[in-house]
Structure 1
Amino acid sequence: MEEGFDVGARLRQLRQEKQLSQRELAKRAGVTNSTISLIELNNVSPSVSSLKKILDALPVSISAFFAGDEPNHPSPFYRASELTDIGDGQLSWRLVAARRPDRRMSILHEYYPPGADTGEEMLEHDGEEGGVIITGEIEITVNGEVGLLGPGDAYYFDSRLPHRFRNQGSQQCVIVSANTPPTFSDGGQELHHA
């Protein structure tokens, strides 16, 4: 998560704005009461998929969760330090222009350390996504078809097809990807690669 960002306080603030108890939010999100409590106390760092389930129950988008105030006339340029990391502490997904209100696509700089896996539960969400592998190797499963991709290889598929990303190699995999519509900014939609 973004360095210095207080995930627990932000979740508590949003939950209270929606006038939900921890118990009610947990029920809506399909997680335990203690999960909500531990996150709000910053005793655990939620995985991206867990955080997304909780935010969908509010509903609040990942972008809105991490967003600050975007200038009225945002610069077209973003320094590496300005990208919003919406990863889970193991996986890192650095989103370009996360706070831009009129964004119609998501561009990500993704990092998958050795052993990283988006999970056994296959992902499915509206839209299309594609990317290019910069370094390392990644195993991508799309609708039962498995591909092992390396530097310079690319992928592009309909995101409604069940998919999964796994790094079974010994080095970090870096990918630059894009998806549309920007599922990171649409509350209630499944998170890309989560």
Structure 2
Amino acid sequence: MPDKEERLTEGDPAGEPMDFDVGARLKSIRKSLGLSQRRLADQSGVTNGLISMIESNKTSPSISSLKKILSVFGLSLADFFETEESNQDNTEKTFVFRASALREINPARVFHEGTEQGLAAVSLKRIGTGRDHKLLMLYETYEPGADTGPETYAHDGEEGGYVIEGEIVLEVDNRTETLQAGDSYLFDSRLPHRFRNVGKTRCVIVSACTPPTF
């Protein structure tokens, strides 16, 4: 298990540095609300052991598990990865966000440890921050074999996306469709859903969610 300094300089598979401590962030929020690990586990429906391992940086949660935990705090996944520092970087309002400014919000990509291979092959990059915008936009890439996790997840709002390249299997409320480049989707995000790339090439999607509850 690499220490924190090593993880911060390792970077993701695309070579972009990751400077975010998932465990420390979760622990800080939990303590600020006066919750014990056991109480948080009871309220979120995950095990106390999982919370302990996440906070000690011994494992990375799946998207579904982390969303269950964050629901107790009233936080979205995107909000969790948005720190005061990232908001300060955008003190002057802008309408252009360079590639280097897009923030990764997939815990498997940020954490690098203890994740399933399929989840680690998913990249979810947020365009902008939540401070000034009521629309969440993501640049998503799914390498062959990528999977948002064995469990479906749900959140308030609507989401839609356009497949730029490759193909993706989208499951919504136990219905499954395969989308190819040029296809798009739009559905009620409260319905349980997941994404999988079962093809042999990378899939690229640009998506949006409103309100930004993902």
Given the two structures, how large is their TM-score scaled by the length of structure 1? 0.83
Query: 1:19-38 counterparts in 2 under 5 A?
Result: 19-38=34-53
SS at match of 1:101: coil
Pick aligned residue for 2:207 from 177, 183, 186: 177
Q: CA deviation at 1:76?
A: 1.6
1:126 aligns with 2:141: no
State the partner residue of 1:159.
189
CA separation of 1:23/1:6 partners in 2, compared to 1, >3 Å: closer, same or farther?
A: same
Separation in structure 1 between the aligned mates of residue 182 and residue 134 of structure 2, nearest angstrom: 26
Using the TM superposition, name which of 136-145 and 38-47 deviates more: 136-145
State the partner residue of 1:55.
70
Structure 1, residues 151-185: CA drift from partner, whole Å, max 9, x if none?
Answer: 1222222333443322111122111111211113x
8 A contact 2:41–2:69 mirrored in 1: yes
Separation in structure 2 between the aligned mates of residue 92 and residue 28 of structure 1, nearest angstrom: 28
Q: CA deviation at 1:11?
A: 0.9
8 A contact 2:64–2:151 mirrored in 1: no
1:16 aligns with 2:31: yes
Separation in structure 2 between the aligned mates of residue 140 and residue 107 of structure 1, nearest angstrom: 18
State the partner residue of 2:143.
113
Separation in structure 1 between the aligned mates of residue 79 and residue 23 of structure 2, nearest angstrom: 15
SS at match of 2:144: coil
Separation in structure 2 between the aligned mates of residue 23 and residue 144 of structure 1, nearest angstrom: 32
8 A contact 2:64–2:152 mirrored in 1: no
Q: CA deviation at 1:82?
A: 1.2
8 A contact 2:63–2:148 mirrored in 1: no
Higher fraction of helix: 2
SS at match of 2:139: strand
Structure 1, residues 122-168: CA drift from partner, whole Å, max 9, x if none?
Answer: 44433222111112111123345432211122222233344332211
Given the two structures, how large is their TM-score scaled by the length of structure 2? 0.76
Separation in structure 1 between the aligned mates of residue 83 and residue 148 of structure 2, nearest angstrom: 27
Pick aligned residue for 1:82 from 101, 117, 136: 101
CA separation of 1:183/1:12 partners in 2, compared to 1, >3 Å: closer, same or farther?
A: same
Separation in structure 2 between the aligned mates of residue 9 and residue 119 of structure 1, nearest angstrom: 23
8 A contact 2:62–2:149 mirrored in 1: no
**Unaligned stretches of 5+ residues in structure 2:** 1-11, 110-119
Using the TM superposition, name which of 111-120 and 8-17 deviates more: 111-120
CA separation of 1:144/1:24 partners in 2, compared to 1, >3 Å: closer, same or farther?
A: closer
CA separation of 1:94/1:146 partners in 2, compared to 1, >3 Å: closer, same or farther?
A: same
Q: Which has the higher contact order (CA 8 A, sep 6+)?
A: 1
State the partner residue of 2:117.
none
Using the TM superposition, name which of 165-174 and 151-160 deviates more: 151-160
1:92 aligns with 2:126: no
